Structure 1
Amino acid sequence: MTSLAIRFKICGLTRAEDVAAAVSAGAAYLGFVFFPRSPRHLDIDRAAELALGVPPGVAKVALTVDADDAMLEAILARVPVDMLQLHGRESPARVAEIKARFGLPVMKAVGVADEDDLAHLDRYAGVADQLLVDAKPPPGADRPGGNAVAFDWRLVAGRRWAVPWMLAGGLTPDNVAEAVRLTGARQVDVSSGVESAPGIKDAARIAEFARALGQVRRGALPPGPPGVFSPR
């Protein structure tokens, strides 16, 4: 794998060849979606197959949306994941409850559209192991997350929280270097920005995304914690 100053996550993987492309490009995290309304949704059997093919040292992340304990138990009974990503309306108390019950690191996604939303990041930083700073869903969206739309990155430029954080929302090979330079993010998340169709990753675009990040020199970023996570 290529060693990059900026760690990246490829989310919404559905095929073994896409997992291989992400690993080859140097992804630090691979995301598997458990949300039926998403075109990237996996059933538990298929997710288990894909996760078992991930080499050691690459973190496997299960993305859920307002999942109850029974759903989380069903996933974790079959899929060897290293981290849970909560992408719904989970409260800080629910985040803390999931951490205590399941014993895995938790990444909480928080949507940002304006400065008022930054207070939510502070609240979740007190209970989550990592934050995913994402765009708020556009009006009328039936799925959480940025839905391939970026937010105003100036809102988080130079900001730091008590836990590592990851930038998401509308990132592509063409804009990720600018996003990193502007925000100082040490970790980024991409899904639709490296796809040829919903749920179908494009190996060439994944490689382009990694190359764009490789061009961002460590010295160009403001000082701050690297946000390194090592899977068990």
Structure 2
Amino acid sequence: MKPKVKICGLTRPGDAALAVEQGAWALGVIFAPESPRCLDLARAAEVLAPAPEAVERVGVFVNASVNEIEAAVAGCGLTVVQLHGEEDNGLCLQVGRRTGCAVIKALRVAGPGSLEHVVRFDTDFILLDTYRSGSRGGTGETFDWELAALLPVEVRSSRIILSGGLTPGNLSEAITVVEPMAVDVSSGIEATPGMKSREKMELLFKAIGRD
């Protein structure tokens, strides 16, 4: 079964429209100030405007307050909240209740022990990303996919979103090894940070079997 595709770190409406055209399941915008792809609410709403109702609109936050997240959900019409900081399970559940959105909890994989955290979260989805000290995603680096493959297949196929250095060149192998519910791609299809490459995005969807 082909995984769904989330295109993240979007900063331009045209890139969002292309992702929709190619068959993306979800579009992601970033609200973390430390990211070079960070947007304010007004710009994020513009970027997500091309998304039809059937496409998920995801906001990525790092240790934000619930009030900040609620404001972004209301201002941008978010349908999914991705939490990429030190949020615990209780906060994740609170965000889901307060916003009515599905919740993705991002976990950075440093080794086999990192996967123990998966069972501690009752969120709709778990995103597995590469661990690098001082960085929260968008590193362009992969992690050992065999670690993710250790998770039960029913967990991988229903809750796991694979991220971390995915490109048109390595996507097929990653999917074969992990068999995730979805993949999340950002820097692997960029010309420069935040600016997606049409050619790379089209190659990505061809690699996953959609052309």
Q: What is the Cα deviation at residue 180 of structure 1? A: 0.5
| Residue aligning to 1:225 | none
Aligned-partner SS, 2:104: strand
Q: Work out the percentage of aligned pairs sharing the same amino acid.
A: 39
For 1:217-228, list aligned pairs within 5 A. none
Per-residue CA deviation, residues 81-133 of structure 1 (Å, 9 max, x unaligned), is 11100111101111111112222110100111111111111111xx2011111
Residue 204 (str. 1) matches residue 199 (str. 2): yes
| Residue aligning to 1:221 | none
TM-score by length of 1: 0.85
Q: What is the Cα deviation at residue 35 of structure 1? A: 1.0
Q: What is the Cα deviation at residue 49 of structure 1? A: 1.6
| Residue aligning to 1:11 | 8
Unaligned runs of 5+ in 2: none
| Residue aligning to 1:26 | 23
Unaligned runs of 5+ in 1: 216-232
Q: What is the Cα deviation at residue 56 of structure 1? A: 2.3
Q: What is the Cα deviation at residue 146 of structure 1? A: 5.7
Question: Aligned AA for 1:133?
Answer: L
Residue 92 (str. 1) matches residue 84 (str. 2): no
| Residue aligning to 1:76 | 73
TM-score by length of 2: 0.93
Give the one of 126, 141, 145 matched to 1:153: 145
Per-residue CA deviation, residues 33-73 of structure 1 (Å, 9 max, x unaligned), is 10111111111001112222212211110111111022112
Over the residues paired in the alignment, what is the CA RMSD in angstroms?
Answer: 1.6
Residue 110 (str. 1) matches residue 102 (str. 2): no
| Residue aligning to 1:191 | 186
For 1:31-42, list aligned pairs within 5 A. 31-42=28-39
Q: What is the Cα deviation at residue 196 of structure 1? A: 0.2
Q: What is the Cα deviation at residue 158 of structure 1? A: 5.3
Distance 1:25 1:129 in 2: 25
Question: Aligned AA for 1:25?
Answer: Q
